[in-house]
Structure 1
Amino acid sequence: QTTKRKGWINHSIKGPESIADHMYRMALMALIADDLPAVNRERCIKIAIVHDIAEAIVGDITPSDGIPKAEKSRREQEALNEMCEVLGGGSTAEEIKGLWEEYENNSSVEANLVKDFDKVEMILQALEYEKEHGKVLDEFFLSTAGNVIDQPYRP
């Protein structure tokens, strides 16, 4: 997946991370995270790997695109269904679909943690781009202010 993350393109970052780069970095975060009570680390890794997989078809839809959240979700669900058909259905396709839906619906402690990894990865990337390109990327920091869970993860 070589599609570049649109938020960085919109800010004229040269050679920005791809969606695959982003998902890989999040999977590494899940892999190296300390063991947390009641959190299935393997499930976190899997969710991180698939959480943006539908963007391979629909692209990286950002808030600046003006597409309502429900429509974005519908498009991504449709893309995910298409991918699962290509996989021939079965247990693997169902697992991928279930993991994606878990993340999309924020329906587990693992999904909550991976959503936080998503925000942290964006902040780290913004910091790297600020240093590398001399840009001010405050909106990426402000968009996550107060949105990262700062309490222990519990089911």
Structure 2
Amino acid sequence: MRLDWGLRRSGGEAAQNLNMNFAFGRPRLLVPQKFSVSRRLFTRMNGTTWSVEKAIPEELKEQIRRAKDQQDTTLAFLSFLNILRSLKTTKRTGWLNFNVENPESIADHMYRMGIISMMTQNVQVESAKCVKMALVHDMAEALVGDITPEDPVTKEDKHAREASTIEYIRDLLEPFNSKAAQELYTLWHEYENLSSPEARFVKDVDKFELLVQTLEEERRYKGEKDLSRFIGVRKQIQTPEVCKWADMVLAQRDEFWKSVTKLS
């Protein structure tokens, strides 16, 4: 996902156009570190044009080649799982840019999105489908990396890289389980195109989970980090149910920052 930037609201008023840290009564600028995106995204390419094949870890290339040559479908499945490993180890770039220590991984984010999707009471969406979509929506980042608007990759290029990655994953997994492979592919495109009620709901859950994580990180740092620039995603949420959840988080956040101000 692309993390959009917003402003912290405190006491019902919009914060100033600068992202300030008000801890201990001494405001200071919090400037995101540029290009902290997982270096695998750029360094693995050695300045060459990006491609799925070049993005695959060297230790996996021979294994995948052997699986294809020998038509070993189980080895292909294992290779698919090995590719996904980086989702567990790659930290989300937005937090790295703000020097958040030991931040969540891409897989952490998707897992909680899946749990949130189970909680919906919206009869207009199929919960099970939403859970699957939540677990798939950032799968391409296993090879593409977690690209943010501050990184030197255009939105169009980012989408093209992710689309080619999902196609590669589908083709790799297809001999082992063609139905599941096609489902992953279809769910990803459905999410990207927002072509169903489930896709629109999961897109909102994506933003909501970011709000939850933002407040958690601010609490963890006891007000020493003001992560206001992530709060702007609230205005992108449209589903009434998720809007209600998001407003609850923002209300909790206002209370937190009021308590920090009192202690300063």
The question of a shared fold, defined as TM-score above 0.5 by the shorter chain, is answered with yes
**Cα pair 2:113 2:206 within 8 Å, conserved:** yes
Aligned 1:15-30 pairs, distance under 5 A: 15-30=102-117
Q: Alignment partner for residue 99 of structure 1, among 176, 179, 187?
A: 187
In structure 1, give the amino acid aligned to 2:105.
S
**What letter matches 2:234 in structure 1?**
A
Give unmatched runs, 5+ long, in structure 2: 1-86, 243-264
Paired-residue identity, %: 43
| Kept in 1: contact 2:109–2:209 (CA 8 A) | yes
User: Could you tell me how far 1:96 is from its partner in structure 2?
Assistant: 0.2
- CA distance 1:29–1:56, change in 2 (3 Å): same
Amino acid at match of 1:107: S
Q: How does 1:125-144 map to 2 (within 5 A)?
A: 125-133=213-221, 134-142=224-232, 144=233
Q: Give the drift of 1:41.
A: 0.7
Distance 1:124 1:63, change over 3 A: same
Taking the aligned partners of 1:33 and 1:92, their CA distance within structure 2 comes to 24
Q: Give TM-score scaled by structure 2 length.
A: 0.55
Matched, 1:57 2:143: yes
CA-CA distance at 1:83 after TM superposition: 1.3
Tell me what 2:196 maps to: 108
**Structure 2 residue aligned with 1:85:** 171
Distance (Å, rounded) in 2 between the aligned partners of 1:66 and 1:137 = 22
Structure 1 unaligned regions, length at least 5: none
Q: Report the AA paired with residue 117 of structure 2.
A: A
For residue 209 of structure 2, the aligned residue among 116, 121, 127 is: 121
* Rg larger for: 2
* 1:115-153 deviation per Cα after TM superposition (whole angstroms, max 9, x unaligned): 1100010011011111112211011002x1321114379
User: Are 2:237 and 1:148 aligned?
Assistant: yes
User: Any conservation in 1 of the 2:194–2:200 contact (CA below 8 Å)?
Assistant: yes
Tell me, in whole angstroms, the C-alpha distance in 2 between the residues paired with 1:145 and 1:21.
Answer: 21
Give me the CA root mean square deviation. 1.5
Please list every run of at least 4 consecutive aligned residues from structure 1 whose deviation after the TM superposition is greater than 3 angstroms: 150-153
Q: For structure 1, which segment, 125-134 or 8-17, has the greater mean C-alpha deviation from structure 2 after superposition?
A: 125-134
